[in-house]
């Protein structure tokens, strides 16, 4: 039996996850494990991680988010972080967390379009 800490929705071959609440480090690690597991289990080609309901993203949470995206890519899928709150974005930049290499979008709808573009690019040449 595995512990699911977040609800994962599957729409077509895309997984949608909405993070919320105040996350401690253990929960963040459990989410990381669950999401990588879900991508492998479902064979999804994309994942959107919606963080619009996170009012605080500190360096640890940001680092794990980046790690999840990297792991999902290793599994042959694409992942994007969507809905970063403006105050959180400002804070992350001043904190010095590098998230420039992450694919991000304003909201889930734009995230889906982004994943579509990434998938198309994927079939052509490899991402750098």
Partner 1 sequence: MTTGAATARQPSVFDIVDESDLIRVRKVLRSEAESVRLNLVDATKLITAGSELARNILYYATGHRGRISVEQVCRQGRRGVRATFADDGPGIADIAAALTDGFSTRGSLGLGLPGARRLVDDMTLTSAAGSGTTVVIVKWQR
Taking the C-alpha atoms of residue 26 and residue 41, their distance in angstroms, rounded to an integer, is 22
Least Å distance between CB 63 and partner 1? 6
- Hey, how many other C-beta atoms are within 10 angstroms of the C-beta on 42? 15
Mask 99-128, x = binds partner 1 (CB under 8 A)?
------------------------------
Q: Is 96 in the site for partner 1 (CB under 8 A)?
A: yes
Binding to partner 1 (CB under 8 A) within 52-71 occurs at 55-60, 63
Binding to partner 1 (CB under 8 A) within 10-39 occurs at 22, 24-26
Q: Which is nearer to partner 1, 58 or 116 (CB)?
A: 58
Q: Is 91 in the site for partner 1 (CB under 8 A)?
A: yes
Taking the C-alpha atoms of residue 121 and residue 37, their distance in angstroms, rounded to an integer, is 24
Taking the C-alpha atoms of residue 19 and residue 102, their distance in angstroms, rounded to an integer, is 17
Q: Which two tokens stand for residue 92?
A: 């992350």
For residue 46, which of 4, 99, 100, 10 has the smallest C-alpha distance?
A: 10
Q: Using CB under 8 A, pick the residue from 9, 11, 87, 113 that binds partner 1.
A: 87
Q: How many helices (H) and strands (E) does the chain have?
A: 4, 5
Site residues, partner 1 (CB under 8 A):
22, 24-26, 55-60, 63, 85-88, 90-91, 94-97
């Amino acid at each position: 039996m595995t512990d699911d800490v977040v609800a994962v929705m599957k729409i077509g071959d895309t997984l949608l996850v909405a993070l919320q609440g105040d996350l401690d480090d253990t929960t963040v690690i459990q989410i990381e494990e669950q999401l990588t597991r879900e991508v492998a289990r479902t064979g999804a080609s994309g994942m959107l991680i919606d963080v619009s309901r996170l009012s605080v993203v500190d360096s640890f949470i940001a680092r794990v988010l980046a790690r999840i995206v990297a792991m999902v890519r290793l599994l042959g899928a694409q992942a994007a972080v969507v809905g970063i709150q403006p105050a959180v974005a400002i804070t992350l930049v001043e904190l010095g967390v590098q998230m420039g290499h992450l694919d991000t979008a304003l909201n889930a709808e734009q995230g889906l379009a982004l994943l579509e573009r990434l998938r198309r690019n994927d079939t052509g040449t490899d991402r750098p």
